[in-house]
Amino acid sequence: MEKKYQKLKKIVERKLTKADAGHDINHVMRVYNSCLYLAKGEKGIDLEILKTAVLLHDIAEIKESERTCHAKLSAEMAQKILGKLGYPQDKIDKIAHCILAHRYRTGVKPRTKEAKILFDADKLDSLGAIGIARAFIWVERHRAKIYTNLPLKKYIKENLMGGRINGRIKDKTKHSPLIEYELKLKRIPNRLHARKAKKIAKGRLNYMKSFFDRFSKEIKGGI
Ligand SMILES: [Fe+2]
Ligand SMILES: [Fe+2]
């Protein structure tokens, strides 16, 4: 990694010392590596924008709350940091767009190639074996359940805003990784941009399916 990126990595690492294990600097570096993989062989990608955006995309993660969106805050922090480091304004704007659009919920869709790659790479980290590990870290962070016996339809009706699949979770303590998988993670491939990313997502989802099949059987007992 070149010096300027190492410097940014150090800044981010410091900000994320108190982040949970699913959103620490290792998450940032996994997404960084996935971004490079997705960008490889693609034309017209500004690697400086991509690398800088991925390193800074979750810098404000620990400030996430009901009221504060970490993507918005991370974009603002990135703008300040990069301004101080003397980055040209047009680059800063493009980097900020990638960061802001990495999260679906901000309502800002990725417009540029770099933003689409960051979006895809970040979502891939919610899938597969690593996605399972991170889902259980989420459980601990929000005092949620490792599983719940509530039927899915009932859960949607009772715990999602408006009784809609994409409604916000009312009470996170009633959520579980299997519910997350059924309602959100399974749908990720349709939301990704790059064919390469969709392919990886499908492979990771196959792995998750076998994990949750086994998981559900063990809950019932007998194996
Ligand atoms: Fe994020
Ligand atoms: Fe992220």
CA of 25 to the centre of ligand 2 (A): 10
Taking Cα atoms as reference points, which of 96, 144, 123 lies closest to residue 38? 123
Which CATH class, in words, describes the domain spanning 3-108?
Answer: mainly alpha
Q: Which ligand is nearest to the CA of 24?
A: 2
Provide the β-strand partners of residue 169: 160
pLDDT in tens, 104-148: 777 899 999 999 999 999 999 999 999 999 999 999 999 999 999
162 phi and psi angles, rounded to 5 deg? 70, 5
**Residue 119: other Cβ atoms inside 10 A:** 23
CA of 153 to the centre of ligand 1 (A): 28
Structure tokens at 161: 């805003």
Token pair 């924008």 is at which residue? 49
Q: Which residues surround ligand 2, an ion (CB under 5 A)?
A: 58, 122
CA of 11 to the centre of ligand 2 (A): 16
CA of 89 to the centre of ligand 1 (A): 23
Look over the chain and give the mean of its residue pLDDT values, rounded to a whole number: 95
CB 35, CB 27: distance < 8 Å: no
pLDDT in tens, 67-100: 889 999 999 999 999 999 999 999 999 999 999 9
Query: For residue 191, what pLDDT is reported?
Result: 95
The model carries a pTM of 0.95
Question: Which distant-in-sequence residues (6+ apart) come within 8 Å of 219 by Cβ?
Answer: 147
Using a pLDDT cut of 90, give the percent of the chain over it: 91
- What does the domain layout of the chain look like in residue ranges? 3-108, 128-220
Token pair 């603002």 is at which residue? 76
